[in-house]
Structure 1
Amino acid sequence: MLELTGVHVGYGRTSVVHGVDIAVADGGVTAIMGHNGAGKTTLLRAAVGLLPVRSGRVTLFGEDVSRLRPHQRVRRGLAYVPQGQQSFGQLTARENLQLVADGAGSAGAARMDDALDLFPALRDLLGRRAGLLSGGQRQQLAIARALLTGPRVLILDEPTEGIQPSVVQEIEDAIGTLTRTGGLSVLLVEQHVGFALAAAGQYYVLESGRVTRSGAGGADQEADVRAAMAL
């Protein structure tokens, strides 16, 4: 679905990601883990077109999209939820969703219903300004808004950061539902190792801009992954 092959990315004269190979499985969850500064967000920004790749290739459904702009990648089925529970704080939750739903044409209303079914707590909050929502509620709103574009690959950057455990579980359940029934693939960047491995079918560990470990996901991998990340 989404492949990054030999990707090098950086800022100015500083190289951050060095020849990384990542493949996102069809209809599954792929997790990227690593400490702060490992290059995870830089890699995601290159995948969605917010940073140019210096060399290597980004392929989406077999098409080289390395030179396409972010909105062109969105039209081809890629959606990105950046770190930080981002929303338009002065707008209500409904208005945040409606901005994207209106751009989806006739499919917008149905997608909004589906997104609210996935996060039913948002239904009671539609009239509230997004800036007054809790961090977990804003994260659910951000994911719901991304789903309104009708993606086939959803990229989530640290979706559990600063969120209460009950909402973390709801997000994990939502990811599972999407990949089981929605024909969606997810690329998940996480520092929460237990959450990432429980959700993912495959994982990569990124350290200093390089993949140092990869394998099949699952809770039984947690001790080995934590040990690898401690090196």
Structure 2
Amino acid sequence: MLRLTGVHVGYGRTSVVHGVDVEVEQDCVTAVMGHNGAGKTTLLRAAVGLLPVRSGTVLLAGEDVTRLRPHQRVRRGLAYVPQGQQSFGTLTARENLQLVADGAGAAGKARMDSALDLFPALRELLGRRAGLLSGGQRQQLAIARALITGPRVLILDEPTEGIQPNVVQEIEDAITALTAAGGLAVLLVEQHVGFALSAAARYYVLESGRVTSEGAGGLEREGDVRAAMAL
């Protein structure tokens, strides 16, 4: 569903990602792991068009989107939830969701209801300003908002960072439910190795902008991944 091939990305004269290949299969979670500074977020920003790819290709459902702008990629089915539980803090949770639902046309209301079904605790918080929500609640809100766009690929950058354990489990359950229902692939960047491997069908480890290890997901691979990240 999403394929990055030979991707090189950087800032100014500095190269950060060096010839990375990553494949995200339909109805599956693919995890990218690595320490801070490994190039994970830079890779995601290139995938969604926020950073230009210096060389290599980005394919979405077989279409070359390497030179398309971010909003064009969104229209083709790419959704991105950046790091940091981002929301419009002065708007209510409902207004945050409604902004996206209004842009989704006739499908907006049904998608909003489906997103709230995944995170039922948000229904009780719809009238509260997003800035007053906890970090975990804002993260759920950010994911729900992305889902209203009707993506084919959902990209999540560090969705468990700074979030209480019970909400981490709710987010993992939601991701599992989404991919099990079919029609959605997830690219997940995580430092929480256990969470990533329990959700992912495949993983990649980045080190200094290069893939140093990859393989099938599953908690039984945790030792291999931790060893690769310790190099």
Alignment partner, residue 103 of structure 1: 103
SS at match of 1:19: strand
Runs of 4+ in 1 over 3 A off after TM superposition: none
User: Displacement, 1:177?
Assistant: 0.2
Structure 2 counterpart of 1:12? 12
Structure 1 equivalent of residue 144 of structure 2 = 144
Q: How does 1:182-201 map to 2 (within 5 A)?
A: 182-201=182-201
Q: Does 1:45 align with 2:67?
A: no
One-letter amino acid of the counterpart of residue 166, structure 1: N
Partner-residue secondary structure (3-state), 1:68: coil
The aligned amino acid for 2:215 is: G
* Other structure's SS at 2:99 match: helix
- Equivalent positions of 1:65-144 (< 5 A) are 65-144=65-144
Aligned residues: 231
Q: CA deviation at 1:135?
A: 0.1
Distance 1:156 1:174, change over 3 A: same
Normalised by the size of structure 2, how large is the TM-score? Answer: 1.00
CA RMSD of aligned residues (A): 0.4
Distance in 1 (CA, whole Å) between partners of 2:134 and 2:79 is 23
- Alpha-carbon distance between aligned partners in 2 of 1:182 and 1:217, rounded to the nearest angstrom: 19
The whole-number CA distance in structure 1 between the counterparts of 2:39 and 2:86 is 21
2:170, 2:54 → 1: CA distance?
Answer: 38
Number of the residue aligned with 1:210: 210
Structure 2, unmatched stretches of 5+, are: none
The whole-number CA distance in structure 2 between the counterparts of 1:121 and 1:182 is 24
* Match in the other structure for 1:179: 179
Identity of aligned residues (%): 86
What is the distance in 2 between the residues matched to 1:219 and 1:112?
A: 32
Question: Counterpart amino acid of 2:221?
Answer: Q
Deviations 1:111-153 (A, max 9, x none): 0000000000000000000000000000000000000000010
Q: Secondary structure of 2:160's match?
A: coil
Distance 1:18 1:139 in 2: 30
Letter in 2 for 1:70: P
Counterpart in the other structure of 2:61? 61
Shift of 1:26: 1.0
User: Which ranges in structure 1 are unaligned for 5 or more consecutive residues?
Assistant: none
Amino acid at match of 1:67: R
Q: For the residues of structure 2 that align with 1:102 and 1:7, how far apart are their CA atoms?
A: 35
Cα distance in 2, alignment partners of residues 168 and 61 from structure 1: 29
Superposed displacement of residue 182, structure 1:
4.1
